[in-house]
Amino acid sequence: MKTGLESFELELNGVSMQVQEMDLPKHTAFRVVFSSKRPPIVMARYKDDAGNKLWTSVPEGRKKEAAGVGKLIDQYFEKKNK
């Protein structure tokens, strides 16, 4: 079980997002709750066959949205770890 799970807020185009890291073995995953009427999304990072790290929704179906929010999460951690 992971300790110190991240919880933070992001904002894009006037919509705030409450982001909560999830405790899933061997996976980087987050639950995102939007301030708009958009339903929450659970998303996870995976590697494609070429080894590229990508984001997808769980369950699938909101992959484009997961990729956009995932980019914001990546930027958050890049800025935090500088």
Determine the pLDDT at residue 3.
Answer: 59
For the chain, 82 residues long, give each residue's pLDDT as a single digit of tens: 455 788 999 999 999 999 999 988 888 899 999 999 999 999 999 999 999 999 999 999 999 999 999 999 999 999 988 8
pTM: 0.87
First to last CA, the chain: 26
Determine the pLDDT at residue 24.
Answer: 85
Which residue, chain included where needed, has tokens 């996976």?
A: 27
